[in-house]
Amino acid sequence: MQAFTRLDATLAPLPLANIDTDQIIPKQFLKTVEREGLAKGLFYDLRFDGEGRPKPDFVLNRPEFKGAGVLVAGDNFGCGSSREHAPWALMDFGIRCVVSTSFADIFYNNCFQNGLLPVVLKADEVASLMDEAKGGNHLVTVDLEAQTVVAPSGRTYAFAIDPQRKEKMLKGLDAIGETLTRAADIDVYEMRQALAKPWLEDA
Amino acid sequence: MRSMPGKTLYDKIWDGHVVTEQDGEAILYIDLHLIHEVTTPQAFAGLRASHRPVRRPDRTLAVADHNVPTEGQALGIGAVADEEARLQLQTLERNVKEHGIEFFPMGDIRNGIVHVVGPEQGRTQPGMTIVCGDSHTSTHGAFGALAHGIGTSEVEHVLATQTLRQKKARNFRVNIEGEPIPGVGAKDYALAVIGEIGTAGGTGYVIEYAGSAIRALSMEGRMTLCNLTIEAGARAGLVAPDETTFDYLRGRPSAPKGGAWEMALSYWKTFFSDDDAAWDREITLDAGKIAPLVTWGTSPEDVLAVTDRVPDPESFDTPGKRASAVQALEYMGLTAGQPISDAKVDVVFIGSCTNSRIEDLRAAAKIAEGRKVASHVRAMVVPGSGLVRAQAEDEGLDEIFLAAGFEWREPGCSMCLAMNPDKVPPGQRCASTSNRNFEGRQGRAGRTHLMSPVMAAAAAIAGHIADVRDYL
């Protein structure tokens, strides 16, 4: 996982609720066997018209939001499918942080496997950040150590985050490597279960 | 001395699977890992790169479902026209072979949609933990198993360790009481719950369904209900196992036999929520007050009774929801205030992990029998597995569908997600028994209305969204 510590980046507003993972990365891009190269499919039907031409009005196509690193979006971002292609596509596009009032569980979890920081703020905070993003200055600072988002105006929003998830993201830890240090515990658990539920052993 | 509070079904499964716990994060043992071609190639590549083996190939089962065409499966993977889909299918075949994982390939009668196959084979059992790189893994909760979707990094984690790092969710009980009116069933219950609590209403919870209407549901109905739990934002849904569950399991290929069956049965019977268990949230619905439901918009929470009119975006309470409703109406080609039953359909899809089991097909066939699909409608029935297809053919359901003008296809995810040749063409309207009405879900610019199998069959006959009660 890529570590996340602090980010100074352009903030792009996406003022829609329930942005689902089919919108983030449509199904035709899921046929890859690679993790990389998914930026081309990010928000495909929002970014491009039926002929594959960029829609000039879509926020990420507008010159002032070029290279955006942070998205601020409406409620329940990332609902729908479990596809990890959604965080992969956002990251591949250069987005390292998404701010919303709420995230769908599986998407939220997938973000932490990849170093994409999902930030939950209150509804009025998301609304004012959204307003600021539509103004002339779009530069925000996201500081995971301090748990703050500093808006273009300088207004600072504090956010909560699970301490273990924060720690892992700050360090970019490998979750599988961590769990394998507990392999002896897993062995013991399996031996106990094999005795208690023998019918699962010869399935 | 005060006694300990009771436990919920979820608490019991959780407690029985914690290998170790630190600061509220558990390493949770996974009993069954289901895999398919779309969300695993990067996980196997990760294992290969770190020289890690699959810890329990015997607890892993693979199918090919998302990408497969629903005709010509006997021709084999080599005949799959889409090059990328073919590569993904070949990659899965290579990975399962390398790691010794049981696999039902395309064309095998046991193959089908992963959430149909697991229960059908008896691999899904009460009290288990089950994961799969697919959000509709919640389906397996119908057996009283803790089952949910995971991302590809977690697929790799489970392959390597047979565990998952998890924080415990909260407990939410949804009671559905009483008897439904004719034409209403599990799909309508699920849509009613999503309409009631919204697509984020279950976020952070595991939902247990309880009440007399749930007890009366068949296993197929319970699977439909648990399947759609993710559309209410909860990763997992549960129904406590009972005689209906045990009857379904008895004699399945991977169900325990003989003395082992008795042993398993007494273990399974411990999985229920105690009377004094504490619930973080609880709601109760009256089954008798639920009408046949359909969706009008592009979120599964956009639910209305088939007799209702399309809502006015101004009636929603937040600016975000108003904006989404305006966009949804435009996308769906609907006008606020029009009766939803005015909406003419072009395509009807009966299938998906939500509604492709034998009971779904029987119910739809009952409506289709002796009637004709409207001449402008393309209607298709896609059984959830080769075994469901064979059983339906034994019962003569295929002949009923074919005589009515439905296509009778081979198993797979099909038109639910348009990753294979079955797609809703741009601008066309589909009455669908699937699970998501998101923009583009069934094909670019395709318009999806979610509904039950009987409602979809009625729409096929009428040529527009129709009230199944007129066809009973």
B153 and A175 within 8 Å at the Cβ level: the answer is: yes
Question: If pLDDT is split at 50, 70 and 90, which confidence band does B35 have?
Answer: very high
**pLDDT of B2:** 55
Residues of chain A falling short of pLDDT 50? none
Q: How far is A93 from chain B (nearest CA, A)?
A: 19
**pLDDT of B318:** 82
Question: If pLDDT is split at 50, 70 and 90, which confidence band does B5 have?
Answer: confident
The answer to whether the Cα torsion of A190, A200, A178, B93 is positive or negative is positive
| Spatial distance between the Cα atoms of B423 and B328, rounded to a whole number of angstroms | 20
Mean pLDDT of chain A: 95
| Spatial distance between the Cα atoms of B151 and B132, rounded to a whole number of angstroms | 8
Tens-digit pLDDT profile for residues B403-439: 999 999 999 999 999 999 999 999 999 999 999 999 9
Of A16, A27, A198, the CB nearest to B323: A16
Of A33, A75, A103, the CB nearest to B91: A33
**Mean pLDDT, range B5-10, rounded to an integer:** 95
Question: In terms of pTM, does the model score above 0.90?
Answer: yes
Q: What percent of chain B has pLDDT over 70?
A: 99
**pLDDT of B3:** 67
Instruction: Select the residue from B123, B135, B268, B450 to test the A interface by mutation, using most A Cβ atoms within 10 A.
Output: B135
Per-residue CA distances from B135 to A35, A81, B431 (Å)? 19, 5, 22
Tens-digit pLDDT profile for residues B125-157: 999 999 999 999 999 999 999 999 999 999 999
List the beta bridge partners of residue A98.
Answer: A71, A118
A102 and B203 within 8 Å at the Cβ level: the answer is: yes
Question: If pLDDT is split at 50, 70 and 90, which confidence band does B383 have?
Answer: very high
Q: How far is B462 from chain A (nearest CA, A)?
A: 30
Which residues in chain A are closer than 8 Å to B82, comparing Cβ atoms?
A: 31
| Spatial distance between the Cα atoms of B375 and B329, rounded to a whole number of angstroms | 26
B160 and A203 within 8 Å at the Cβ level: the answer is: no
Tens-digit pLDDT profile for residues B267-313: 999 999 999 999 999 999 999 999 999 999 999 999 999 999 999 99
B42 and A34 within 8 Å at the Cβ level: the answer is: yes
For residue A110, the chain B residue with the least C-alpha distance is B151
Which residues in chain B are closer than 8 Å to A203, comparing Cβ atoms?
A: 58, 123, 254
Q: How far is A22 from chain B (nearest CA, A)?
A: 6
For residues B62 and B35, is the Cβ–Cβ distance under 8 A?
yes
A113 and B235 within 8 Å at the Cβ level: the answer is: no
A203 and B123 within 8 Å at the Cβ level: the answer is: yes
Of A18, A27, A106, the CB nearest to B324: A18
Domains of chain A from N-terminus onward: 6-172 (3.20.19.10), 173-203 (no CATH)
Predicted ipTM beyond 0.85: yes
A13: left (phi over 0), alpha (psi -120 to 50) or beta: beta
A176 and B163 within 8 Å at the Cβ level: the answer is: no
Of A76, A82, A183, the CB nearest to B199: A76
**pLDDT of B23:** 83
